[in-house]
Amino acid sequence: MEESKILLETVDLKKYFENKKFLSPKTVLKAVDGVDLKVHQHETVGLVGESGCGKSTLGRAILKLHEPSSGKIIFKGSEIQDYKFNQMREIRRQMQMIFQDPFASLNPRYNVLQAVKAPLDVAGIGTSQERTEKALEMLSYVGLNESFAEKYPHEMSGGQRQRVVIARAMILEPDFVVCDEPVSALDVSVRAQVLNLMKKVQSEKQVSYLFISHDLSVVRYLCDTVMVMYLGKIVESGPKEDIFERSAHPYTRALLSAIPIPDVAERPKRIVLEGDVPSPLNPPSGCHFRTRCPFATEECAKIEPKLDVLEGKHKVACHFAGKI
């Protein structure tokens, strides 16, 4: 992919949640702990990691659905981390989100036409008739004919609901969309249809995606760049070819070894991580992954590795990157 202009960037972005209990010490959950991220125009950046590592929180913090604790969010050259409600209202016409559960993200009292038309209503774009026509046009674009316009979410399948959510996200023609595991709840055949639809939308609408997923096969198909997250931090990032063919972090290798491969002869040896994911309320000192890493040493407990360049655009946060 040719180098293009940076559309969105985060610098040392953090999101901490304070847990205040009566007569108990205050604790801090570091959900996102200093993330640097860049999304170029027309690019799809994949964000992967185990459940609870902070992927969804990062996506929501970028859109300021969660207020960041610190750091910068730069969108189209403007720092938006301190924008107030009215300022964000304009920005959100250019930044949208596709949620993981389409049923939960659709208002059960709205039919499909009302749901897709709602962003236009809020933005005050065009007349009522023009908004209706545009909503019907968008439904047709995502593969739903006019017969779906009067249906309600409970009358549709999971794949159909996800198409409605995509139509709603794209109707304002945004430049950037956070996709929070948009196909994880779908059957394999329906998943392929939705992924192909997302590729079509990106190609024709020139939109950029931050694609959050735990399914590495999907990430390999859809994404240009991949970032691997563990306990609120990015531990490896780079072009998908580097991540899938030349991964250097033990955590990334363990994730890749878990990808199902039909041919038993070509299936790599499964790397099973011992122990549980540490609590983000009390992460390990030094390298957060050291308690589950087979290569950990005393140095890993004392010094936190930085996300440094290994080669080209390939970055790794590991003291032994390129040596194991």
Give me the CATH number covering residue 266: 3.40.50.300
- Same domain for 278 and 182, yes or no, is yes
212-216, 273-277, 286-290, 294-298: least confident range: 273-277
Averaged pLDDT, 272-293: 87
Q: Give CA–CA dist 296/50, Å, rounded.
A: 20
- 1 falls within a domain: no
- Same domain for 246 and 264, yes or no, is yes
Residues forming a β-bridge with 28: 18
- 179 falls within a domain: yes
Picking from 173, 191, 212, the residue at the C-terminal end of a domain is 173
**Contacts of 179 by beta carbon, 8 Å cutoff, 6+ apart:** 97, 98, 198, 209, 210, 211, 212
- Same domain for 302 and 248, yes or no, is yes
- Same domain for 152 and 195, yes or no, is no
The beta-strand segments (E) located in the chain are 6-19, 27-40, 44-48, 70-75, 78-79, 95-98, 176-180, 208-212, 225-230, 233-239, 308-311, 314-316
23-32, 169-178, 213-222: least confident range: 23-32
Reported as a single tens digit per residue, the pLDDT across 259-270 is: 777 665 666 677
- pLDDT at residue 252, as a whole number: 94
Q: How confident is the model at residue 89 (pLDDT cuts 50, 70, 90)?
A: confident
- pLDDT at residue 186, as a whole number: 78
Picking from 122, 141, 173, the residue at the C-terminal end of a domain is 173
- Same domain for 167 and 178, yes or no, is no
Reported as a single tens digit per residue, the pLDDT across 54-70 is: 999 999 999 999 999 99
For 153, the domain range is 98-173
**Domains in the chain: how many in total?**
2
- Same domain for 166 and 263, yes or no, is no
Do 36 and 307 touch, CB atoms closer than 8 A? Answer: yes
Q: How confident is the model at residue 1 (pLDDT cuts 50, 70, 90)?
A: very low
- 135 falls within a domain: yes
Distances (CA, A) of 36 to 22, 23, 105, 227: 35, 36, 28, 10
- Same domain for 53 and 199, yes or no, is yes
- Same domain for 152 and 251, yes or no, is no
**Contacts of 4 by beta carbon, 8 Å cutoff, 6+ apart:** 40, 41, 42, 43
- 303 falls within a domain: yes
- 64 falls within a domain: yes
How would you label 197-226 residue by residue, b for 16+ Cβ within 10 Å and e otherwise? bbeebbeeeebbbbbbbbbbebbbebbbbb
199-203, 260-264, 297-301: least confident range: 260-264
Average pLDDT, rounded, for the chain: 90
- Same domain for 86 and 114, yes or no, is no
pTM confidence score: 0.91
- Same domain for 161 and 192, yes or no, is no
Residue 124 structure tokens? 């005050």
- Same domain for 162 and 180, yes or no, is no
Say if residue 2's pLDDT is above 60. no
Do 254 and 271 touch, CB atoms closer than 8 A? Answer: yes
- Residue 238 half-sphere exposure toward CB, CA atoms < 13 A: 23
Q: How confident is the model at residue 23 (pLDDT cuts 50, 70, 90)?
A: low
- 187 falls within a domain: yes
Reported as a single tens digit per residue, the pLDDT across 183-194 is: 887 788 888 888
- pLDDT at residue 267, as a whole number: 60
Strand order in the sheet with 95-98: 95-98, 176-180, 208-212, 44-48, 225-230, 233-239, 314-316, 308-311
- 324 falls within a domain: no
- Same domain for 78 and 136, yes or no, is no
- pLDDT at residue 268, as a whole number: 66
Picking from 173, 188, 220, the residue at the C-terminal end of a domain is 173
